[in-house]
Amino acid sequence: GENVEQHPSTLSVQEGDSAVIKCTYSDSASNYFPWYKQELGKRPQLIIDIRSNVGEKKDQRIAVTLNKTAKHFSLHITETQPEDSAVYFCAASTGTASKLTFGTGTRLQVTL
Amino acid sequence: NAGVMQNPRHLVRRRGQEARLRCSPMKGHSHVYWYRQLPEEGLKFMVYLQKENIIDESGMPKERFSAEFPKEGPSILRIQQVVRGDSAAYFCASSPGGRGEQYFGPGTRLTVT
Question: pLDDT tens for residues A7-23?
Answer: 999 999 999 999 999 99
* Average pLDDT score over residue span B88-93: 97
* Average pLDDT score over residue span A80-86: 97
* CA nearest neighbour of A100 among B5, B90, B56: B56
> Rounded CA gap, A16 and B111, in Å?
39
| Model confidence pLDDT, tens digit, residues A30-72 | 999 999 999 999 999 999 999 988 899 999 999 999 999 999 9
Q: How many CB atoms lie within 10 A of CB A69?
A: 6
pLDDT the model gives residue B40: 78
* Average pLDDT score over residue span B82-103: 91
pLDDT at B1 over 70: no
CB within 8 Å: B100 and A97: yes
* Average pLDDT score over residue span B84-106: 91
CB B102 within 8 A of CB A46: yes
pLDDT at A95 over 90: no
pLDDT the model gives residue B28: 87
CB within 8 Å: B97 and A105: no
pLDDT more than 70, % of chain A = 99
* Average pLDDT score over residue span A77-101: 93
Interface test with A, best of B30, B37, B40, B45 (most A CBs within 10 A): B45
pLDDT the model gives residue A96: 67
CB within 8 Å: A96 and B99: yes
pLDDT the model gives residue B41: 83
Q: What is the largest CA-CA distance in chain B?
A: 41
Buried b (16+ CB within 10 A) or exposed e, B4-40: bebeeeebebeeeeebebbbbbbeebebbbbbbbeee
Sign of CA dihedral B55, B57, B59, B60: positive
